[in-house]
Amino acid sequence: MARHNDISTCVTGALEKYFRDLDGEIPSSIYDMVLKNVEKPMLEVVLRQADGNQTLAAEMLGINRNTLRKKLTEHNLL
């Protein structure tokens, strides 16, 4: 089983590369960018692990099923 800090390490590496690749440009909306790019694949993987069962996926994520449905809609995953 993967350790929790592996995800943190991946995000850190991706952000460091992002800043290197800016080539002097000033970044904006980093918070929203990171959440958008992490949330959708997380939802896809968890939903797959739950065999499409949204109630189970919501439990795995620790969120309400209605919140999950809202997020799935936001990311065009329904």
44: domain CATH number is 1.10.10.60
For residue 62, the enclosing domain spans 4-74
Cβ-count burial of 47 within 10 angstroms (0-12 exposed, 13-18 middle, 19+ buried)?
buried
CA end-to-end span of the chain: 28
pLDDT for 22-46, tens place per residue? 988 999 999 999 998 999 999 999 9
Angle, helix 30-49 to helix 54-61, in steps of 10 degrees: 130
Residue 68 neighbours by CB distance under 10 Å: 22
pLDDT for 40-72, tens place per residue? 999 999 999 999 999 999 999 999 999 999 999
**Reported pTM:** 0.80
- Region of 51 please: left (phi>0), alpha (psi -120 to 50) or beta: left
Q: Based on the structure, what is the number of domains in the chain?
A: 1
